[in-house]
Structure formats: C-alpha cells, structure tokens
Structure 1
C-alpha cells in the first residue's frame, strides 16, 4: 500500500493506492455553500446538509478518478436501483461513496471488481453495541476508556460496512456479523480483501475490494 498523498483541488484530502488497481480517498466536506457537483447530481429534494454531503462525496470521487483513470469531458455519477453509486459513462469502473459528519470518502476499482468504502466519526457506544459489533474482542474493548472504545468500534464498523457495500447488499447482509478483531488492520472476508486506512483527524475509514488477477480472475 502506498502512503497517503493529496488530491489536487481537494484541501485536506488524503488518497491511498491499494492493490488490484484500487484507489480510495478521504476529505473534509469543506465549504457547504459550494453548489456545483458532478454532472447529473443536484440533490434535489434533500435537506441542505444532505446536499452538502452528497455533492462533496461525488466531487471527491470525480477528483480521484481524474487522478487515476482520466475521463474526457465531465463525468456523471448515477445510482443503481439499490442505491449504489455508479458511473454510466465509465462502466469499466466500480465505485463507492461514504460520508459521516464533516468528512466524506470515495473509492474506485479501476479493474472492474467490487469495491466498498466507509468512514465513521466516533460517537459514544454502549456495552450492548460493543458486544453486537465486536464479539471477537469484546472483553478487551470493554476494559478501554470510553474515547478509546468509541474509536475502536467506529474503526471496526468501517471495515464491516465497507465489506457490506462491496457485496452490493449493504445492511441486508448484517455487517455486524463480519468478524474483525479490535487490533486487526487488514484481512479477508468471503471473496473480499479489506484494509483500514490512515486516520485523518481521528475519523476511521476503511476499504474493501475484490482481488483481481489478469490470468485467473479472483485471486486466492
């Protein structure tokens, strides 16, 4: 995995290159008054704060794609019937978006495999939620002070949610059942690989993707 680098035109952004032609990025939402997003995305009918998140996430995605898989003209971001983002003008690319509080994240699989990204600002979690989402490390987590526990649970959830997004089914697969250890930074689940990413400003984020091998399809 390469170290993080900045994306041109996205203040505060961090982009990371992962194996298998996968790239992901994170950025603060920035100025919520900036109205223009990618083509085909107006956020019409949404409350203003949701429009800001939506536009910021799609702007981050199109900036990331411009850096790693340039596309002539303005790139439109659409949605599939299930709500997953897609690129009608670039069916060779699979993408994912996420937002939490004041930050957004985006990912692109340049080789057409499934991909999911998630970001989660920590928030206070009770013992019941720790036991539900983190059964592998519940004893250790419950011994931590609250801020440390909250950050660990948020990080674990970003792994679980990014895997769920990469399946295309989201919460339908009950992501809290995906096993992730409290100190685990990378791993595999079903046909996917996943990795937690360098935290910026204390907000965890993770990416999951489908490994691709040119000769054999999915890697073992």
Structure 2
C-alpha cells in the first residue's frame, strides 16, 4: 500500500500507510537465505532494493524506502542490504553503525539518529518505530523538505518534537499492528492515532470510554461495536497526544459522540477520517486562528 497523504485542514498534513511484512518461510540462520523480515514500506517513486545474502547474492526484490531495516536492526550482524539509486553505503553503515556516515533517503545523519532511538525500544517495537519515523520523514520531505533531516527529541513532557530554533511545526506518529500514521501541523501541536478494532472488547471498557454514549454502542453488533469503539478511542488518544499528556490526560474522559467526524476539546480541533480511511484514524491539532502556545525548546 502506498502512503496516502492529505491536507486535512489548512496547514495540517496527514500520511498513513500499511507496513508490508513479507516473511519467507526460511529457518532462522539458514545460509544464503533471504532476510526473514523485509518490512518494506511502499512509497511513491521509491527505489527498488535488493537484499543480499553473502557472496552468492541470493536476492529478494522489495519495494519501498525502508526495506529490511527492521531485520537488519534486530540482527546487526545480518547480511548487507543494497539500495539501488540511494546515496552511499547504507548497507555498510547498517553493518557497522559506528561508521557514522549514513545517509537516509538523501538526508545525512537522520538514519543514524533514528537507529539510535530505535535501539532504546524493546526489540518487538523496533520495526513499527522505524516505520513511523520513515513515514514522518517522508511526509516532511513533501510539505517542509528543509526540516526532513532534523533530529527528533522529546520535550520535558515526553512529546516528540523537531529539534531546532524558531517556530517549528508540530509532529506526531502512531502505529497499531501493520498500520502507521504521521501528521505535521504548521501552526502548533498535533496528535494522530490509528487503531485496529479490538478482537475482544469488555463491556467495562465501553462504559469507561463512551460514558453517556455507552448504551448505544454496546447495543451494536459485535463487529460494529468494536469498530465504533476504535473510532472514538482514536479521537481521545489523538487529543491527549496533541496536548502532550498521554494517558495522564485521561483520554477516556473526553466526550466523543459515536459517528462524529469533528469536534473540539481542550483548545484543539479534532477530525475523524471516517470518509477517507478504512481503519479508524483521527487527528487533533491546534487551530490556526488561535495564538500558538509557547513551548520549551528541544535542542
């Protein structure tokens, strides 16, 4: 699936994609076998990559800007990865991260920083983390290309921000399963959330998150009930991500009417992409007509 990009409001851009997970049925450690996880993220005009497996060079062709990076990260001693048409020596830098001369889709040093951040996450989170970073940088290259290689830092509240001087746009990333989303807001903070409908959904969870709307949602057939819950939760989660409070902001207390496509909370505007996304996906952002709040710098 190619990333879908839209300006959902003036100065607010959102991209979403599916992280392809092609897994050849090869025993772990088999000699001259393709990488067990390709993790290719399709992107428009993305270069074709080849996954090399030693001198014999058994190759698996993949599409996307970030093929096999998750596997190479999880197993740094794996075979080299060759990228056609991309700037120098990504494969060698993956094999020897200390070389310190990686270029990431033409953006010097961004890959090294993203790899370093990924290594602070549990192994099972690294693939989705890198996919989110890749999608965010892909989006920045299209809407603010001069910012696409900036380092990302967490502010004192833990919210990710572009590191640098001046009024930089707000950024946000979300992932659930094989779905990823990223958003950029030119004029303030932003939060995005993507959520696959849960396979199991307790009545108590519906009551807690839906409040006065819980009876109407609980009465829906099981599949629709899980899907409507997921739509509501993406709004609640996007709002607290925009505010930088996370779960401490008690997202379940945010009133979101079932079926709603827009609303306001805590100084933010929120939109549910119900008419655009097949998977529940919502975004909350600082309105352009309000003064931008002062935030501590991230450097």
Matched with 1:3 is: none
Gaps (5+ residues) in structure 1? 1-10
Instruction: Say whether 1:116 aligns with 2:213.
Output: no
Could you tell me how far 1:190 is from its partner in structure 2? 2.1
- Evaluate the alpha carbon distance shift between residue 212 and residue 202 of structure 1 in structure 2; reply closer, same or farther with a 3 A threshold: closer
Q: Which residue is 1:4 aligned to?
A: none
Quickly say closer, same or farther: Cα 1:66–1:140, change in 2 above 3 A.
same
Structure 1 position 217 matched with structure 2 position 291? yes
Q: Give distance in 2, aligned partners of 1:199 and 1:49.
A: 32
Cα separation, 1, equivalents of 2:121 and 2:245:
23
Task: Report deviation, 1:22.
Answer: 0.8
1:34 matches 2:24: no
User: For each residue in 1:62-96, what CA deviation from the matched residue of structure 2 results, as whole angstroms up to 9, or x when unmatched?
Assistant: 11111111116734333234332111147511101
Alignment correspondent of 1:197: 273
Q: Does the 8 Å contact 2:172/2:182 carry over to 1?
A: yes
2:195 & 2:148 partners in 1: Cα distance? 32
Structure with max Cα Rg: 2
Aligned equivalent of 1:87: 162
Decide which of 156, 177, 181 is 1:101's aligned counterpart. Answer: 177
Aligned length in residues:
205
Q: C-alpha separation between the residues in 1 aligned to 2:276 and 2:130?
A: 21
Asked if the contact 2:12/2:183 (under 8 Å) is kept, the reply is yes
Match of 1:54 in 2: 129
CA offsets, 1:145-175, max 9 Å, x none?
1110000001100000000011111111100
Structure 1 residue 143 displacement after superposition:
1.1
1:36-81 deviations in Å (ceiling 9; x for gaps) = 8743111114343311111100110011111111116734333234
Question: Separation in 2 of the partners of 1:171 and 1:68?
Answer: 30
Larger RCO: 1 or 2 (CA < 8 Å, sep 6+) = 1
Structure 2 gaps, min length 5: 21-37, 40-67, 71-93, 95-103, 105-109, 293-299
Instruction: Return structure 1 stretches of 4+ with deviation > 6 angstroms.
Output: none
Please, what is the CA RMSD of the aligned residues?
A: 2.2
2:226 corresponds in structure 1 to 150
Q: Which residue of 2 aligns with 1:184?
A: 260
C-alpha displacement of 1:135: 1.4
Distance change (3 Å), C-alpha of 1:72 and 1:79: closer
Alignment correspondent of 1:164: 240
Q: 1:76 aligns with which of 144, 151, 165?
A: 151
Give the 3 Å change call, closer, same or farther, for CA 199–120 of structure 1 in structure 2.
farther
- The counterpart of 1:25, out of the listed 15, 33, 43, is 15
Deviates more, 1:122-131 or 1:38-47: 38-47
